[in-house]
Amino acid sequence: MAGNKKNPSAQYAVIGLILAGLACVSTGLTGVAKGMVAQQIFTLDGTISDNINLAFNISLALIVIGLAAYAIMSPDKVRRFLTGRQARYGSNSLILTLAFLGILIVTNVLVFQNPDFLKSPWDMTEDLSNTLAPETLQALETLPGKVTAIAYYSLNLDSTNAEELLVKFKNNSKGNFDYKFIDPDQDPVSAREAGVTGDGKILLKMGETQEIVSFASESELTQALIRLINPGERAVYFLQGHGEPALEAGNGQLSFSIAKSTLESKNYTVSPLNLLSTNKIPDDALAIIIAGPMKPLASSEMVLLKEYMEAGGSLVVMEDPTIVTEFGDTFDPLAKYLDSDWGIKLNEDIVIDLVNSQNPLQAVSSQIVEHPITQNLTQNYIVILPQARSISVTAEPVENVTTTPIILTTDQSWGETEMSAETQPVFDAEKDNPGPLNLAAVAENSITTGRVVVFGNSLFATDDVFDAYGNGNMFINSVDWAAEQEDLINITPREQTPRMFTPPTNGVFIIMIIISIFVLPGLVVFSGVSSWLARRKKG
């Protein structure tokens, strides 16, 4: 009968399957090649790479064509496959697949509606490196009011780590901490009104009180929160009367106006101090800043400063090379005091640093020594000091005084002792001070608790270069340390568990690809065919 007549094209249907099978092999091989090129295991000429991509696409098309040809030439077998026992098994698999997809969709909807869920994952690390310190959690729990953090990050600076940290603060604050990001390039007015200069700064506001954090770290943010909660008076004074740069900008002259506004944004009260006229150091002075005097201090001023230091006061001294001042051969009582009482000597030279080939008179920090002042500068910033003098730590330590150099140059620098405008500076081993050189040092007296920070340069903190590199952070951190504001809270650093990842070699990577693309799927196909043959023999 006509219904039993065989389809003459069915005998050629197997050609479609063979074509699809060969196309699968070709797809796998070209896919492996594309993967190895993507992993940069080897590189190919542009034409060859294009041909591989073309072969990959053609192979995919041949798989579809081969399967379609088989279905057209042998529709009875395809119909039996779709309606037989295999189809029933396939329907169960389809239901499970749809259920799995449904779970994924629901999960994604929930996560989309609660975006902070993924930003604050459970901390499964061995050293709890993703969990805030107990001191930070306590500060967040005791916030008396709403704190808003405004992070000023431009598109040139990666804000990922800062946002992850701010999310942790928000999620542990019981609703008292929130944050937002502002691009200072797009909204310079907001940054200027907030007193924020430079990129990557974070403004914390609580009511009328605010703090500026110069570096997005848990320690810095927590200390700023503590200062917000305890906004006590913090007064520092800039010594005046010796030709120092002004505290306010004007007439294109050198000034410390940005340094002053940055200190004020951290709730410091910043005032000028002329000891020649007042003859008294204010009782509330946490630190006195001597920045860029053009003439030596008077002996009467030194008497007041010594008394202040013996009572536990602090100094931040930034004195430029004699050659760029009006000191001449006049005796410098401040330099003598730093040498005799603190073990810090201001050398009579000017630093030549060949690391900065464009301007050797700009000294570059090649090593920043670990210290509370430099805790956020060691790996992230360099400091540039234009026209600096070198500093030496005296060989004989001063009793009860601990002295530490904190900024050093490379051995490609030296301290030029006979600078001349007529000739290029050349190192003289008999006269000049060889590098590496100290550019800054700190000292602390264990009995009086007095502190001193000394820089062989003042220009690094002036308006022109305050926001360059780590200059501003170095200055502000120095004032914080001198004023004893660095230890409002002490967050113990966690010990990081070392974890090493060794990437696979090219050979291992190729084996992994072959196993994942050919061996594992081949085992599945082999087990399926074996099971089908066994059932066929039984049936």
CB 60 within 8 A of CB 27: yes
**Which residue type, as a one-letter code, is found at position 516?**
S
Domain membership of residue 16 (yes or no) is no
For 290, the 3-state DSSP assignment is strand
CATH number at residue 328: 3.40.50
- Are 228 and 209 in contact by the 8 Å Cβ rule? The answer is yes
Query: Helix (H, G, I), strand (E, B), or coil: what is residue 322?
Result: helix
Closest CA to 63 of 11, 87, 28: 28
Cα–Cα nearest to 55, from 19, 21, 31 = 31
Residue 244 domain flag:
yes
Residue 146 lies in a domain: yes
Has residue 447 been placed in a domain? yes
Q: Which of 212, 245, 274 is the last residue of a domain?
A: 212
Domain boundary among 182, 212, 242: 212
Q: Which domain holds residue 528?
A: 506-539
- Statement to judge: residues 516 and 478 lie in one domain: no
> The tokens of 69 are what?
């040809």
Which of 212, 247, 265 is the C-terminal boundary of a domain?
Answer: 212
Q: Are residues 192 and 313 in the same domain?
A: no
295/171 same-domain check: no
Instruction: Specify the pLDDT at position 422.
Output: 65
pLDDT tens digits for range 482-503: 998 875 544 544 545 555 556 6
Note the pLDDT tens digit of each residue in 346-392.
999 999 988 877 788 888 888 888 898 887 665 557 889 999 999 99
The answer on 395 and 331 residing in a single domain is yes
| Alpha-carbon gap, residue 290 to 367, rounded angstroms | 25
Q: Residue 77 falls within a domain, yes or no?
A: no
Give per-residue burial for 158-174: e unless 16+ CB within 10 Å, then b: ebeebbebbbbbbebbe
Q: Give the angle 258-263-269 at the CA atoms, nearest 5°.
A: 120
- Where residue 77 falls (left for φ over 0; alpha for ψ -120 to 50; beta otherwise) is alpha
Q: What is the pLDDT of residue 47?
A: 73
Domain match, 245 and 322 both: yes
Tokens of 400: 């009860």
Structure confidence at residue 116 (pLDDT): 53
CB 438 within 8 Å of CB 391: yes
Looking at the fold, whether 515 and 446 belong to one and the same domain comes out as no
Q: Are 264 and 270 in contact (CB under 8 A)?
A: yes
What's the pLDDT tens digit per position in 302-339?
A: 999 999 999 999 999 999 999 999 998 899 999 999 99
Task: Provide CB contacts within 8 A for 434, sequence distance 6+.
Answer: 411, 414, 415, 427
Q: In this structure, are 396 and 469 located in the same domain?
A: yes
457 and 512 co-located in one domain: no
309: left (phi over 0), alpha (psi -120 to 50) or beta: alpha
Cα 175 to chain centroid distance, Å, stands at: 27
> Per residue, what are the HEC states of 145-212?
CCEEEEEECCCCCCCHHHHHHHHHHHHCCCCCEEEEEECCCCCHHHHHHHCCCCCCEEEEEECCEEEE
- Residue 151, in any domain of the structure: yes
Distance CA 206, CA 392 (A): 44
Please indicate, yes or no, whether residues 159 and 238 belong to a single structural domain of this protein: no
CA dihedral 252, 256, 259, 264 (to 10 degrees): -100
201 φ/ψ angles, rounded to the nearest 5 degrees = -95, 155
Strand partners of residue 209: 206
Residues 6+ apart with CB under 8 A from 504: 512
| pLDDT at res. 490 | 47
Residues 451 and 304 in one domain: yes
Are residues 340 and 452 located together in one domain of the fold?
yes
Residue 510 resides in a domain: yes
CA distance 491 to 506: 44
Q: Please report, for the domain that includes residue 149, its CATH number.
A: 3.40.30.10
Here the tokens at position 445 are 């007296």
Same domain, 181 and 251: no
Which residues in the chain come in under a pLDDT of 70?
Answer: 1-10, 35, 37-46, 78-102, 104-129, 376-380, 421-422, 487-504, 539
Cα separation of 133 and 508, whole Å?
41
Total domains in the chain come to 3
Is 13 part of any domain? no
